[in-house]
Amino acid sequence: MSLKALVLSGGKGTRLRPLTFTLAKQLIPLANKPVLGYVLDQVAETGINQIGLIIAPETGHYVKEYVKDGNEWGFKVTYITQEPLGLAHAVKTAKKFLGSDDFIMCLGDNLQGLGLTTYVKKFKAKNMDALILLKPVEDPTKFGVATLDDNNNIIQLVEKPKNTQSNLAIVGTYIFSSKIFDAIDQIKPSWRGELEITDAIQKMVDMGYNVKAEALNTWWLDTGKKDDILTANAKVLDQYAKQQIFGTVIDTKIEGRVDIQKRAKVVNSTLRGPCVIGDCCVIENSFIGPYTSIGDGSKIVDSVIDYSVILDHAQITGVDRLEESLIGKNAKVTKNHRNGCLKLHVGDYSEVEI
């Protein structure tokens, strides 16, 4: 039986507005590459070639513009539109595409440091019906949480519990057999009005199916908020950034792993890695600090930027210090008088004068 993938790229991204008024949250870049791109890379490494992409009516066209026909990853893509009524509802909506095949389900805005191939092999070798990945977190009330016995068998799963004795959050990667549909047919919407995947997995446990859990031994990030994006950008730069200079560099100090893409021009500046400067960028008389990504076509002049994500074609001029900021496409941040340190979350096409 073949293995398929279901990648969830819908939702409204309310916690990342105003950016998500004009962009699907899964397309916010980390090191100048959309979060979704890293997820699809990990799916492709498993050898899967059939993928269903869950998209939202409001932002689905952005996802289609990025993924296209899936050839970049070797996929045959089926787009599936869904209103945000829960993860189990997304699975139910994709039933025609999934058929009777086993499948990986990934959240398009979650990222983990380790690939999926190891877990696929374990799922098949032990003839599982479900495999869920877990990660200890500081605040389990924000996640679906699993309670395990001494042998790592699942005792209980609860979605965003008010009180819990477990700190094991369910990360955004699952592997299921088609028996998940039997469970979904027997659950009802939660108090949030959604069909919860935690309820469906709990039902599988209750029905005696072979459901296993495994703790993730690497980092995992849910990029649902601004600070999450910045943390994920830093993690990705730590793991993937390389020292490579394709653009023009004049009278500039380069420290650490700095990636300067073609047709970029950097003049009289200091760049301290890990950081990435996109295609056709202009950096003049500025300092670009570690864990910063500057999107294609952006222009940074007379400014200091640190630990930030700047999307394509942004303009930042005369800013004494910008840190821990997320700046949308075509946005402008300029100085009117001395401003000190700024921390901003600015949407696409915005203009901020300090």
- Phi first, then psi: give them for residue 51, nearest 5 degrees: -135, 135
183 and 255 housed in the same domain: no
Q: What six digits make up the tokens of 298? A: 């952006």
Instruction: Please indicate, yes or no, whether residues 55 and 204 belong to a single structural domain of this protein.
Output: yes
Give the 3-state DSSP-derived string for 3-69, with helices as H, strands as E and coil as C.
EEEEEEECCCCHHHCCHHHCCCHHHCEECCEEHHHHHHHHHHHCCCCEEEEEECCCCHHHHHHHHCC
Q: Is the pLDDT of residue 349 over 80?
A: no
Residues 345 and 266 in one domain: yes
91 and 120 inside one domain: yes
Average pLDDT for 278-287: 97
Last residue of a domain, one of 201, 236, 271: 236
Name the nearest CA neighbour of 136 among 164, 155, 114: 164
Task: Check whether residue 193 and residue 271 sit in a common domain.
Answer: no
Report the distance separating Cα 319 and Cα 304, nearest Å. Answer: 6
Mean pLDDT of 116-144: 86
User: Residues 157-169: what's their mean pLDDT?
Assistant: 80
Q: Residue 340's pLDDT band (boundaries 50, 70, 90)?
A: low
Q: What does the pLDDT read at residue 155?
A: 81
User: What residues contact residue 123 under an 8 Å CB cut-off, 6+ apart?
Assistant: 102, 131, 175
Percentage of residues in the chain having pLDDT higher than 70: 91
Q: What's the total number of domains in the chain?
A: 2
Highest mean pLDDT among 24-38, 98-112, 268-282, 311-325 belongs to 268-282
Which of 203, 236, 269 terminates a domain? The answer is 236
- The predicted pLDDT at position 175 comes to 94
Question: Is 124 found in the same domain as 98?
Answer: yes
Of 214, 236, 258, the residue that ends a domain is 236
Do both 167 and 305 map to the same domain? no
What is the tens place of the pLDDT at every residue in 70-89? 999 999 999 999 887 889 99
Token digits for 191? 């108090």
- The boundaries of the domain holding residue 249 are 242-353
Residues 145 and 221 in one domain: yes
341 Cβ contact list (under 8 Å, min separation 6):
320, 321, 322, 323
